[in-house]
Amino acid sequence: MTRRFALIIDPIGASEERADYADTFTVVDAAAPALSVGELSTQRGDGVFESIGVVDGHAQEVLPHLERLANSARLCDLPVPHHEQWRQAVAVAASQCPAGEAVIKLILSRGVEHGPTPTAWVTAAPASDFATVREAGIKVVTLDRGYGLDAAEQAPWLLLGAKTLSYAVNMAALREAHRRGADDAIFLSSDGFVLEAPTASLILRFGDRFTTPAPTGGILHGTTQLSVYEHLAGRGFDAGYDRIPATDLSKPDAAWLVSSVRLAVPITAIDGVPIPVDRTLTAELNQYLLSPRD
């Protein structure tokens, strides 16, 4: 794939049932204008999205991504996506992806201001080459997200548990990490607990136990983290969820950021403190994550 593929979806009600939804899809030129100037996704970031990794034309973990898209839609008071309609749209986009790695994005917007229906579309594009960073690893810094661990419960209107299009803060965090000489960041709650990275989940290893922050406090439950845990459980490892104090970030025997497209990237240092890298396990995890998974 040398260019992007785009498909506009005409959203239908979640309860409508039929075998084929192809007539609700419109292929458009991804390089041409397609959205109204009144579109709220661009005006206000008022919408939700998912990014699905594609390997050799196979879209990975489609069901978990669609379930998370539906959860984000509910949190944002958007119409719940029709599961089968969106699954078929993903299949169409995946069919346009050649051998190698690509990324499919699902976007559901509130639509045009004062419009009657939401706007929805799917894109496919070549993925960046992450082979080097998967092997060499990254340095990260910690950044205070400015909310306590109970913020999602106390202030649900902050939408901390939804994967929204409002990613300005996440991108600002990455720029701040770069200013500090690092490659990425890990958010901390204002009361001193580990959260997640701007675009990835965090997994820490202490001895033979793997842990990740519990998916509360506005943390997205990572689809790739769930896949890694499935693999680790199959290997007989103890993999669980904890409230992790920030002070523990200087103690892991290994650490990774994991996400749908970048996959498993080892962390080599946190706030300048070196972290051991398990290169053998990292290679094993990425080999697993590059295998077909539904």
Span 24-41, pLDDT tens digits = 999 999 989 888 889 999
* Model confidence pLDDT, tens digit, residues 171-226: 999 999 999 999 999 999 999 999 999 999 999 999 999 999 998 868 889 999 99
With helix as H, strand as E and coil as C, how does 191-250 read?
CCEECCECCEEEEEEECCEEEEECCCCCCCCCHHHHHHHHHHHHCCCEEEEECCEHHHHH
Q: If you average pLDDT over every residue of the chain, what do you get?
A: 95
Percentage of the chain modeled with pLDDT above 70 = 99
* Model confidence pLDDT, tens digit, residues 106-123: 999 999 988 888 999 999
* Model confidence pLDDT, tens digit, residues 120-134: 999 999 999 999 999
Q: What is the value of pTM for the model shown?
A: 0.95
Nearest to 6 by CA among 101, 114, 120: 120
- Tell me the C-alpha distance between 124 and 114, whole Å: 29
Please tell me the predicted confidence (pLDDT) of residue 2: 56
**Pairing mode, if any, of strands 25-28 and 5-9?**
antiparallel
Helix and strand numbers, DSSP H then E, in the chain:
8, 14
Integer angstrom CA distances of residue 213 from 186, 194, 220: 11, 6, 10
* Model confidence pLDDT, tens digit, residues 135-145: 999 999 999 99
Strand partners, 256: 203, 266
Please tell me the predicted confidence (pLDDT) of residue 288: 97
Describe the strand order of the beta sheet including 5-9 as a list of residue ranges. Answer: 25-28, 5-9, 119-126, 101-109, 47-55, 58-59
Please tell me the predicted confidence (pLDDT) of residue 217: 67
Asked if residue 264 lies in contact with residue 134, where contact means CB atoms within 8 angstroms, the answer is yes
Report which residue type is found at 67.
E
| pLDDT over 70 (residue 1) | no
- The CATH number of 5-126 is 3.30.470.10
Where in the sequence of the chain do the CATH 3.30.470.10 domains occur? 5-126
Q: Which residues of 260-292 are buried (b: 16+ CB within 10 A; e: fewer)?
A: bbbbbbbbbbbeeeebebeeebbeebbebbeee
Task: Give residue 3's pLDDT band: very low, low, confident or very high (50, 70, 90).
Answer: confident
Q: Would you call 18 exposed, middle or buried from its count of C-beta atoms within 10 A (0-12, 13-18, 19+)? A: exposed
Neighbours of 255 (CB within 10 A): 25
Please tell me the predicted confidence (pLDDT) of residue 13: 84
CATH architecture classification, 131-289 = Alpha-Beta Barrel (3.20)
Q: How many CA atoms lie less than 13 Å away from 40 in the CB half-sphere? A: 18
Asked if residue 34 lies in contact with residue 119, where contact means CB atoms within 8 angstroms, the answer is no
Where in the sequence of the chain do the CATH 3.20.10.10 domains occur? 131-289
Interacting residues of 287 by C-beta distance below 8 A, sequence separation 6+: none
